[in-house]
């Protein structure tokens, strides 16, 4: 089997629940996996949980749960969180699994047989927070360099001859420019190694938890030595079959705090000692901070991804999938590649409005609405304009270049640049003016707009796959899953009937609480200026205009208040032989229970809208009463359901 593209995240300690910091690394890998898959690569994405640490044992003790039950529970929470964020990993390894324990013990024995491990006395400090041994000279005011409490240890332990690999490691870094990334962190590793790598204590006295040292069960293997081996344990090492398909890893991703001391020095040295090839690239991003410190459970300043998605849903009224995609989009767009970055809900909502509701939402809405209005609601034949195809082509190249450098944030920019371009293109081409003048070019312009939209669907697919699916659905096309097809005329078959535009990201208005939601469809389709050109409504309308509005009689079957809204009632209505859900802003005037069984008049051909995450498929007519009360309109006598109203 040919070698697979193998990508990994750190395995997370199960003393804490997953937060957006963990989700960041997961997302970077998920985007990479989805992108490479679209390009036809055979990709393998590994993640998991790190369970043998002392801090895990102590967290279990303070939870009062038996330790195995505790680690099972938190490991499951990580998996559930990744599933809800639509993260598709191929393997999830737990360090308490037999396959991992077996590989760690074999690795330890192999190095001991080869003379890379020896017994000695460890006299010094241990930082449980970072699970790291600390030199006396590195203590700052009695604390570890990370600011954690330290414990004194005096034990006989096994040591790994890390010092023996210093020169080879420095030479490897020098000869392989993309081995350690980014450049600034590589430089930190070089100066760290040049100060001299010291042999490392790699066991602890057995506290009743951890992987016992083979033949010396009074000791357990130090959690970092144990955890790093997960990357080969998951390949089936030492069994050459699967190991050969996967190893060496193409990319190990992590954040900066576990780069220099562990992944960029200890791990390569361990692999050299075992005569195994080194990974292609080890790369560390910065931290998401909150206030001025790293977001972490121990500081109690974490944002949990599912909670964040829930908040986005209730603040904006978007669907659950759109809320998840918003989280994904923001994690990718806000990747702190070199430095750190503060992560706030405000910034997420700002991005939501500017990039998703405005740029993407407008492009989708305007393109589909105009295709229906000006070219009959089907994909026009012919070819898109060269200018548009060139822009798409260059954006694809930019996306690819960004991904080569692992810059997910720049890839997001490249994808969004297409919708920004599309919005400008619509402004300058003014298809409404072409249509009014009877200019045939309107077909080419609409085809070009649709091609840009189709390309956007492809480009955003690795980042926000559910949104990409929704765009494909509204285009009436199957998902674009082959990277090579992006921007091609073939990706846009002529004469396909387009769906009707539906807002995916209703605009968030911080001034207007969702509670104040009205039944007006959310206006995110057209800009103000253009809305005037397109929809400069005359004072009076013709009978033909009026006849476009399909008014029908319906009966209310069910009515219930919408949670979190003081105005909205959710109605199930029957309209002829069709059942629909409609939201009505009549809560202040009617008790939901009093509505059931009534006949009402409904605008039956209104575009569906989403309010507070719920679909509304029509509008109930009501007159304005005194003090803004709503008074429902109804036929004077019972009439057949679905009857037309003129
Ligand atoms: N168990 C070790 C890793 C062993 S890998 C062989 C560990 N676990 S951890 O739970 O602390 O996870 C650390 C990783 O989670 C970081 O390296 C990073 O990938 C991610 N992040 C955790 N908090 C983060 C931020 N606040 N910001 C960015 N990434 C964050 O270390």
In this structure, the residue with its CA closest to atom 12 of ligand 1 is: 12
Model confidence over 214-272: pLDDT tens digits?
999 999 999 999 999 999 999 999 988 778 899 999 999 999 999 999 999 999 999 99
State the pLDDT at residue 520.
29
CA of 12 relative to ligand 1 center, distance in Å = 6
State the pLDDT at residue 627.
67
Ligand 1, atom nearest to 16 Cα:
10
Ligand 1, atom nearest to 253 Cα:
19
State the pLDDT at residue 524.
31
State the pLDDT at residue 537.
33
Q: For the residues of 275-295, what is the DSSP string, one character each? A: T-PPPSEEEEE--EEETTEE-
Structure tokens at 189: 């590793």
State the pLDDT at residue 512.
60
Model confidence over 175-189: pLDDT tens digits?
999 999 999 999 999
Ligand 1, atom nearest to 294 Cα:
26
In this structure, the residue with its CA closest to atom 9 of ligand 1 is: 12
State the pLDDT at residue 539.
61
In this structure, the residue with its CA closest to atom 15 of ligand 1 is: 22
Ligand 1, atom nearest to 231 Cα:
6
Q: How confident is the model at residue 171 (pLDDT cuts 50, 70, 90)?
A: very high
Model confidence over 455-464: pLDDT tens digits?
999 999 999 9
CA of 21 relative to ligand 1 center, distance in Å = 7
CA of 362 relative to ligand 1 center, distance in Å = 37
Cβ contacts of 254 within 8 Å, gap of 6 or more = 9, 10, 25, 263, 282, 283, 284, 285
The answer to whether 2 and 42 have CB atoms below 8 angstroms apart is yes
In this structure, the residue with its CA closest to atom 30 of ligand 1 is: 21
CA of 14 relative to ligand 1 center, distance in Å = 11
In this structure, the residue with its CA closest to atom 23 of ligand 1 is: 21
CA gyration radius for the chain? 30
Ligand 1, atom nearest to 25 Cα:
19
CA of 263 relative to ligand 1 center, distance in Å = 12
State the pLDDT at residue 574.
83
Counting ligand 1 atoms within 8 A of each CB, the residue from 19, 232, 254 with the most, and so the one to mutate, is: 254
Q: What is the largest CA-CA distance in the chain?
A: 96
443-456 burial, b at 16+ Cβ within 10 Å, e below that, comes to bbbbbbbbbbbbbb
The answer to whether 186 and 338 have CB atoms below 8 angstroms apart is no
Model confidence over 543-577: pLDDT tens digits?
877 888 999 988 887 788 888 888 899 998 888 77
CA of 254 relative to ligand 1 center, distance in Å = 6
Ligand 1, atom nearest to 10 Cα:
5
Residues linked to residue 599 through DSSP beta bridges, in sequence order: 555
CA of 22 relative to ligand 1 center, distance in Å = 6
Counting ligand 1 atoms within 8 A of each CB, the residue from 15, 25, 409 with the most, and so the one to mutate, is: 25
DSSP state of 526: S
Query: What is the pTM (predicted TM-score) of this model?
Result: 0.80
Q: What is the mean pLDDT of the chain?
A: 91
Counting ligand 1 atoms within 8 A of each CB, the residue from 7, 10, 303 with the most, and so the one to mutate, is: 10
Is the pLDDT at 405 greater than 90? The verdict is yes
Cβ contacts of 309 within 8 Å, gap of 6 or more = 84, 85, 320, 323, 324, 326, 327
SS (H, E, C) 464-490: CHHHHHHHHHHHCCCCCCCHHHCCCHH
Q: What are phi and psi of 548, to 5 degrees?
A: -70, -25
In this structure, the residue with its CA closest to atom 18 of ligand 1 is: 255
Model confidence over 133-148: pLDDT tens digits?
898 888 999 999 888 9
Which of 574, 583, 552 is closest to 646 using CA atoms? 552
Q: How confident is the model at residue 519 (pLDDT cuts 50, 70, 90)?
A: very low
Residue 373, number of CB atoms within 10 A of its CB: 14
DSSP state of 161: -
Q: Pick the range with the lowest mean pLDDT from 310-314, 376-380, 465-469, 609-613.
A: 609-613
Is the pLDDT at 442 greater than 90? The verdict is yes
pLDDT-above-70 percentage for the chain: 95
Ligand 1 contacts (CB < 6 A) are 10-13, 21-22, 24-25, 50, 227-228, 230, 254-255, 258, 287-288, 294-296
Ligand 1, atom nearest to 263 Cα:
6
């Amino acid at each position: 089997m040919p070698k697979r593209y193998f990508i990994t995240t750190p395995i997370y300690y199960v003393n804490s629940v997953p937060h957006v910091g963990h989700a960041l690394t997961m997302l970077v890998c998920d985007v990479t996996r989805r992108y490479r898959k679209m390009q036809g690569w055979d990709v393998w994405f590994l993640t998991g949980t790190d369970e043998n640490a002392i801090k895990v044992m102590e967290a279990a003790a303070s939870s009062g749960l038996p330790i195995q039950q505790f680690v099972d529970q938190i490991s499951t929470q990580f998996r559930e969180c990744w599933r809800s964020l639509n993260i598709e990993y191929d393997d999830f390894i737990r360090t308490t699994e037999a396959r991992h324990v077996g590989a760690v013990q074999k690795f330890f024995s192999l190095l001991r047989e080869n003379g890379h491990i020896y017994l000695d006395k460890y006299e010094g400090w241990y930082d449980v927070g970072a699970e790291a041994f600390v030199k006396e000279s590195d203590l700052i005011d009695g604390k570890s360099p990370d600011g954690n409490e330290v414990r004194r240890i005096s034990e006989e332990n096994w040591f790994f001859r890390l010092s023996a690999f210093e020169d080879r490691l420095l030479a490897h870094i020098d000869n392989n420019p993309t081995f350690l990334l980014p450049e600034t962190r590589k430089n930190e590793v070089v100066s760290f190694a040049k100060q001299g790598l010291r042999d490392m204590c790699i066991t602890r006295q057995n506290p009743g938890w951890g992987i016992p040292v083979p033949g010396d069960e009074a000791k357990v293997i130090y959690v970092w030595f144990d955890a790093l081996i997960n990357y080969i344990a998951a390949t089936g090492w030492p069994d050459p079959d699967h190991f050969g398909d996967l190893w060496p890893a193409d990319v190990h991703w992590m954040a900066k705090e576990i780069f220099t001391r562990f992944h960029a020095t200890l791990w390569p040295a361990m692999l050299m000692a075992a005569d195994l090839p080194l990974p292609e690239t080890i790369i560390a991003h910065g931290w998401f901070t909150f206030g001025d410190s790293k977001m972490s459970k121990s500081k109690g300043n974490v944002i949990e991804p599912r909670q964040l998605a829930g908040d986005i849903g209730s603040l904006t009224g978007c669907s659950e999938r759109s809320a998840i995609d918003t989280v994904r989009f923001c994690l990718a767009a806000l990747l702190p590649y070199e430095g750190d970055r503060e992560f706030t809900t405000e910034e997420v909502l700002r991005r939501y409005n500017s990039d998703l509701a405005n740029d993407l939402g407008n492009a989708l809405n305007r393109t589909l609405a105009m295709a229906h209005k000006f070219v009959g609601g089907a994909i026009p034949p012919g070819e898109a304009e060269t200018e548009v195809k060139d822009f798409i082509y260059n954006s694809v190249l930019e996306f690819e270049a960004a991904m080569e450098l692992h810059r997910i944030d720049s890839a997001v920019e490249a994808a969004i640049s297409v919708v920004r371009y599309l919005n400008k293109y619509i402004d300058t081409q003014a298809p409404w003016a072409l249509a009014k003048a009877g200019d045939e070019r309107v077909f080419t312009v609409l085809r070009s707009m649709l091609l840009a939209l189709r390309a956007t669907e492809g480009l955003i697919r690795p980042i926000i796959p559910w949104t990409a699916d929704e765009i494909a659905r509204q285009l009436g096309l199957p998902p674009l899953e082959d990277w090579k097809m992006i921007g091609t005329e073939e990706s846009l078959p002529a004469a396909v009937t387009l769906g009707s535009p539906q807002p995916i990201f209703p605009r968030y208005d911080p001034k207007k609480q969702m509670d104040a939601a009205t039944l007006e469809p959310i206006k995110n389709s057209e800009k103000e200026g253009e809305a005037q050109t397109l929809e400069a409504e005359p004072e009076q309308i013709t009978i033909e205009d009026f006849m476009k509005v399909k008014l029908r009689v319906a009966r209310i079957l069910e009515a219930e208040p919408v949670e979190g809204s003081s105005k909205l009632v959710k109605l199930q209505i029957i309209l002829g032989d069709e059942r629909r859900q409609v939201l009505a802003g009549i809560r202040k005037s009617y008790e939901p229970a009093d509505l059931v069984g009534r006949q009402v008049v409904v605008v039956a051909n209104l575009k569906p809208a989403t309010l507070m995450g719920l679909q509304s498929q029509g509008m109930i007519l009501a007159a304005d009463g005194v003090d803004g009360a709503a008074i429902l309109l109804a036929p004077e006598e019972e009439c057949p359901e679905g009857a037309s109203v003129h």
